[in-house]
Amino acid sequence: MNKPTSPSVHKFPFRHRTTRTLATGWFLLQTLLAVPLIGPQPVAAQVEGNNEETTLTYGQLLQKLDQGEVQEVELDNLRGVAHVRLKGEDESAPLQPVTLFGNDVYNQRLLQKLRSSDVDYRVRENSDNSALTGLAVNALLALIVVFALLMILRRSANSASGAMNFGRSRARFQMEAKTGVMFDDVAGIEEAKEELQEVVTFLKNPEKFTAIGARIPKGVLLVGQPGTGKTLLAKAIAGEAGVPFFSISGSEFVEMFVGVGASRVRDLFKKAKENSPCIVFIDEIDAVGRQRGAGIGGGNDEREQTLNQLLTEMDGFEGNGGIIVIAATNRPDVLDAALLRPGRFDRQITVDLPSYKGRLGILDVHARDKKIADDVNLDEIARRTPGFSGAQLANLLNEAAILTARRRKDSVTMTEIDDAIDRLTIGLTLTPLLDSKKKRLIAYHEVGHALVSTMLKHSDPLAKVTIIPRSGGVGGFASYLPKEDQVDDGLISYAELIDRITMALGGRAAEEIVFGPDEVTQGAANDIQQVTNIARQMITRFGMSELGSFAMESPSSAVFLGRSDLMQRSEYSEEMAAKIDQRVRDIATTAYVKARSMLKNNRSLLDRLVDRLVEKETIDGEEFRGIVSEYVDLPSATK
């Protein structure tokens, strides 16, 4: 029977690896230190290279001394060499080297003969640094070995600590978060601010609420489109609350190893409980909070275990009093139902796109640190930017400031802001076209849109029309100012939709009237697509047709949500589909006939506007309506 392996070997593998590393390094150090020091070599070894140059032997030197033929001797005891000059040799000739014996008896005999022979001799004084040099070299080798051992030990320690810290939370912790953002710096989302200000008040003065039996909310979920200010609100809460603040992204919980995310969730809430009351902010919580059972991995995959642990920590058997979890997402439809219930996220705050007043407030906040000219009207900018989020408005003013610096102006004017709006919504400005047939065709197309919309009662007022090309294949465009902020209320009437369809077909109608059916271009492709989409929604979703006031289609849900079939089934019969197609065709045909009739009856006005547009390349709304009013009476809604 095999002896069982010691548990410590499997539990602490890094300790035994470190022991083996130390043993290997110690053996290497002993081996290097066992090498003899680099010092003076034996005399015979040092003079082997001089054998070819030696002309006198030691015995011959003694004989020469006895015979009185030696004139000068220079002794080098360190190297064991005597340099000799015989009588009669040239004074400029080098001395002859004679190898001495290493025995001191022989060297003393040589000195006695030199003294008795009355020969001029001297001893060369050389410092013996070879031993010190050898010691320094060996010490350097020892230091290199020690340094290598320290590096190996450090890597082993880091590996061990990395394994032990693998399941620890990566949340950023601040005892008092100083984000530099307060509620005064957040504009355009007043309802969401009011809800979150209550949370801050609860943290600062809980007695005000607990006195009447209210409990602190456990979680607040911020829901909204990208760029509406969810993360900015979290920064403002951190700046206002003055309590410990933990911030982490949902993706930082999930790893490829099962159980790591759940361990990080436990560690995060353990730290939060030690610092309660506190705030835990989880950004993009949909990365970890998606519906369970929607994937292929079953119930044992990493993401579901992490979600289960998060659900338990937020509202499980043990409470987490004093911890408020604030999460942000732009995909609430994919979150698990257990995560959204009261007791985990007691409040779900929708951060919508800003209304007109909200956009005005956001522009005012972001205009504080920019040099804005006196002629800039923030009210007009807010009216021209329906549907812009807070991030887009901030980018708008930043782009205007960049254009101002590029044009070497001292302050931002309306010209730069107008160009920035066009750049963000349409594209970059390209080189204007030369006066050619293509330029006039584009001019007729754009004037067709602008003229039809100006003469219609329920269309939006024209802001400007231009034939300056833009990136993305845009030859020109006509922009409009909404009469009312329809993005705020979302209400559009049947008459407004019909006028939108008629206006969209004005460009194709102008091309056909002026250049004939054979010269129309594909420039109206996007217009026709827009017409088809509006007309189909009027029939199938809005109930605006004689087919009935009921929905025949519904917005399709994505497959990855786990709530729809792989194949989208039809919600009506083939007979009904034919009726829908016929009704879409009737709406588009009627609108096209109306637009063509309006332009054909005002052909002279159309030609004059085109000539003016080709000359100036851009006409603003006021000038355009002024020219039109000379020919026709404008509807009261467009004045």
Tell me the domain boundaries of the chain: 53-123, 172-351, 356-425, 437-638
Domain 356-425: which CATH class? mainly alpha
Q: Are β-strands 462-466 and 477-480 bridged in parallel, bridged antiparallel, or unpaired?
A: antiparallel
Nearest to 464 by CA among 449, 484, 442, 474: 449
Average pLDDT (313-341) is 81
Give the pLDDT confidence of 361-380 residue by residue, as tens digits: 889 988 988 999 988 889 88
- pLDDT at position 344, please? 85
DSSP code per residue over 415-468 = HHHHHHHHHHHT--B-PPPPSSHHHHHHHHHHHHHHHHHHHSSSSPPEEEEE--
Contact 193, 186 (CB under 8 A): yes
Architecture of domain 172-351: 3-Layer(aba) Sandwich (3.40)
DSSP code per residue over 498-509 = HHHHHHHTHHHH
Is pLDDT of 381 > 50? yes
pLDDT bucket at 254, cuts 50 / 70 / 90:
low
Regarding predicted confidence, which is higher, 139 or 484?
A: 139
- pLDDT at position 163, please? 43
3-state secondary structure of 14: helix
Nearest to 391 by CA among 184, 178, 188, 181: 188
**Beta carbons within 8 Å of 301's beta carbon, 6+ residues apart:** 258, 295
Regarding predicted confidence, which is higher, 381 or 26?
A: 381
Is pLDDT of 532 > 90? yes
Give the pLDDT confidence of 549-581 residue by residue, as tens digits: 777 776 554 433 444 444 445 567 888 889 899
* Sole residue written with tokens 């709304």: 621
Give the pLDDT confidence of 618-636 residue by residue, as tens digits: 999 899 999 999 998 888 6
* Sole residue written with tokens 């002309």: 55
Topology given in CATH for the domain delimited by 437-638:
Methane Monooxygenase Hydroxylase; Chain G, domain 1 (1.20.58)
Is pLDDT of 308 > 70? yes
- pLDDT at position 562, please? 41
Please give the share of the chain, as a percent, with pLDDT higher than 70: 76
* Sole residue written with tokens 């007979």: 575
Active-site residue, 318 included: no
Average pLDDT (334-345) is 86
Range list of β-strands (E), 419-563: 462-466, 477-480
Q: Burial, 46: exposed, middle or buried (Cβ in 10 Å; 0-12, 13-18, 19+)?
A: middle
- pLDDT at position 402, please? 93
- pLDDT at position 564, please? 43
Alpha helices per DSSP H over 341-436: 356-366, 378-384, 390-406, 414-425
Nearest to 246 by CA among 273, 211, 225: 273
For the whole model, what pTM was predicted? Answer: 0.63
- pLDDT at position 637, please? 56
CA dihedral 169, 170, 171, 174 (to 10 degrees): 110
CA dihedral 407, 409, 412, 415 (to 10 degrees): -50
Is pLDDT of 12 > 80? no
Nearest to 384 by CA among 425, 353, 346, 429: 425
**Beta carbons within 8 Å of 308's beta carbon, 6+ residues apart:** 262, 292
- Beta-bridge partner residues of 245: 174, 279
Is pLDDT of 591 > 90? yes
Residue 600's Cα: distance from chain center in Å? 54
Give the pLDDT confidence of 158-217 residue by residue, as tens digits: 554 444 444 455 555 555 556 667 777 788 788 788 888 888 888 777 788 778 887 777
Give the pLDDT confidence of 88-124 residue by residue, as tens digits: 787 777 888 887 766 555 567 777 777 777 777 777 7
- pLDDT at position 476, please? 87
- pLDDT at position 48, please? 40
Distance from C-alpha of 281 to C-alpha of 221, rounded to nearest angstrom: 10
Is pLDDT of 13 > 50? no
Contact 472, 634 (CB under 8 A): no
Give the pLDDT confidence of 18-55 residue by residue, as tens digits: 455 555 555 555 554 444 444 444 433 333 444 444 46
pLDDT bucket at 585, cuts 50 / 70 / 90:
very high
Rg (C-alpha) for the chain, rounded Å, is 46
Nearest to 258 by CA among 205, 202, 294, 308: 308
End-to-end, the C-alpha distance of the chain in Å comes to 101
Topology given in CATH for the domain delimited by 53-123:
3.30.720
Is pLDDT of 483 > 70? no
Cα angle: 543, vertex 546, 550; to 5 degrees: 30
Give the pLDDT confidence of 485-527 residue by residue, as tens digits: 554 556 788 999 999 999 999 999 999 999 998 988 888 899 9
* Sole residue written with tokens 């900018």: 381
- pLDDT at position 257, please? 54
Distance from C-alpha of 72 to C-alpha of 89, rounded to nearest angstrom: 11
Contact 298, 251 (CB under 8 A): no
Contact 289, 339 (CB under 8 A): yes
- The edge-to-edge listing of strands for the beta sheet with 618-620 is 477-480, 462-466, 618-620
- pLDDT at position 42, please? 41
Is pLDDT of 419 > 50? yes
* Amino acid present at 244: P
From 240, 416, 446, 512, the catalytic residue: 446
| Mean pLDDT, the chain, integer | 77
Contact 444, 606 (CB under 8 A): yes
